[in-house]
């Protein structure tokens, strides 16, 4: 599978018609957006399927957590039983007490005991279960550095990016387009924070999903006939603290939660 070294490697594949059907003003702008991860190569209506497949890559088979989630969850809990939770708490940015490892998940306290069972003062979100156990087992404890990468730059992320874009980024964008107060509400509900415009975005919000796994959402409003867009970024240390399957599950779960919140606020989400 080919990997783009710069935007010009994308540009030479295009027909240079500047048709704008991709949502960018020019083919050169589209090439830059593809290289930065804001656009996917197949968004160009003039590229043939063979070219797209050569650069995007074939679809992979299901991962263990997707093929049999219950068995995978059981295996993770067995690994938890073999851990020193006090030592694990230091790695993952939590604390240990009364036989439980406790840490912040989206700003809320979640605890895990030696059997891998959860407890929390709030509802246990199903799509968090596998990722949080994966985090406790695999997190190396590398501190975040505040340098952001796209999902496709995560180890094995390139192969899964198209599905991630559809289930996470495009789903979040649909919510952001119809819910003007979305980002303020995210900050309030999930202990997030607004940050200065990143990558020239109009709005940027950072959520600490896990203590060492921040996620940044960048949103570009519709402007001058150019469609709105939304991209999700991760700290450069993500590969050291969580695997790509757990990242995918977390991010797509967040998108689903935003859709449910929008519906609770009375908004209507148009299907993709």
Residue 37 lies in a domain: yes
* Integer-rounded Cα radius of gyration of the chain: 20
CB-CB contact of 114 with 77 (8 Å) = no
Q: What percent of the chain shows pLDDT beyond 70?
A: 91
5, 45: one domain: yes
Residue 83 lies in a domain: yes
Mean pLDDT of the chain: 87
What is the predicted pLDDT for the residue at 193? 93
What is the predicted pLDDT for the residue at 3? 57
Residue 212 lies in a domain: no
Residue 196 lies in a domain: no
Whole-number Å distance between alpha carbons of 186 and 64: 31
Of 58, 81, 106, which residue is a domain's last? 58
What is the rounded average pLDDT of the residues 243-266? 91
12, 38: one domain: yes
Q: What percent of the chain shows pLDDT beyond 90?
A: 54
25, 90: one domain: no
102, 68: one domain: yes
Instruction: Express each pLDDT in 10-66 by its tens digit.
Output: 888 898 899 988 888 888 888 888 877 777 888 898 988 878 877 765 544 445 555
Instruction: Classify burial at 138, counting beta carbons within 10 Å of its beta carbon; exposed 0-12, middle 13-18, buried 19 or more.
Output: middle
Better-scored residue on pLDDT, 262 or 268: 262
Residue span of the structural domain in which 17 resides: 1-58
Specify the long-range contacts of residues 27-31, CB closer than 8 Å, at least 24 apart: 31/7
Number of domains into which the chain is organized: 2
Q: What are residue 57's DSSP bridge partners?
A: none
Residue 26 lies in a domain: yes
Q: Which two tokens stand for residue 160?
A: 């899964």
Weakest-pLDDT range from 41-50, 64-73, 122-131, 189-198: 64-73
86, 51: one domain: no
To the nearest 10 degrees (0 to 180), the angle between helices 244-264 and 170-178 is 20
CB-CB contact of 70 with 63 (8 Å) = no
User: Could you give the angle at the alpha carbon of 57 between the alpha carbons of 34 and 144, nearest 5°?
Assistant: 60
Of 121, 138, 155, which residue is a domain's last? 138
27, 86: one domain: no
Whole-number Å distance between alpha carbons of 215 and 193: 11
53, 69: one domain: no
Scanning the structure block, which residue is given the tokens 């593809």?
A: 34
Reported as type and span, the H/E element at residue 69 is helix 69-81
Residue 215 lies in a domain: no
User: Does the structure show a pLDDT above 70 at 5?
Assistant: no
* pTM tops 0.85: no
What is the predicted pLDDT for the residue at 59? 46
Residue 86 lies in a domain: yes
Of 138, 169, 198, which residue is a domain's last? 138
**Domain CATH number, residue 19:** 1.10.15.40
What is the predicted pLDDT for the residue at 1? 41
Residue 14 lies in a domain: yes
What is the predicted pLDDT for the residue at 159? 82
């Amino acid at each position: 599978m080919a990997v783009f070294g710069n935007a010009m490697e994308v540009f030479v594949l295009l027909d240079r018609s500047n048709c704008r059907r991709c949502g960018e003003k020019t083919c050169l702008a589209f090439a830059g957006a593809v290289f930065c991860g804001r656009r996917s190569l197949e968004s160009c209506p003039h590229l043939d399927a063979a070219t797209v497949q050569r650069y995007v890559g074939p679809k992979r088979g299901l991962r263990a957590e997707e093929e049999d989630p219950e068995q995978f969850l059981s295996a993770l809990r067995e690994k938890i039983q073999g851990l020193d939770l006090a030592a694990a708490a230091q790695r993952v940015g939590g604390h240990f007490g009364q036989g439980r490892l406790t840490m912040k998940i989206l700003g809320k306290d979640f605890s895990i005991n030696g059997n891998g069972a959860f407890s929390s003062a709030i509802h246990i979100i199903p799509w968090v279960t596998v990722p949080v156990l994966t985090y406790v087992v695999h997190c190396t404890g590398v501190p975040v550095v505040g340098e952001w990468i796209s999902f496709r730059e995560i180890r094995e992320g390139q192969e899964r990016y198209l599905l991630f874009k559809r289930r996470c980024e495009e789903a979040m964008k649909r919510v952001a387009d119809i819910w003007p107060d979305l980002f303020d509400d995210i900050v309030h509900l999930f202990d997030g924070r607004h940050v200065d415009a990143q990558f020239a975005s109009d709005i940027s919000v950072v959520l600490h999903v896990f203590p060492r796994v921040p996620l940044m959402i960048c949103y570009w409003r519709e402007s001058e006939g150019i469609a709105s867009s939304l991209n999700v970024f991760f700290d450069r240390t993500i590969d050291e603290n969580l695997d790509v399957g757990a990242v995918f599950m977390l991010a797509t779960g967040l998108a689903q939660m935003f859709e449910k919140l929008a519906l609770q606020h009375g908004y209507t989400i148009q299907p993709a």
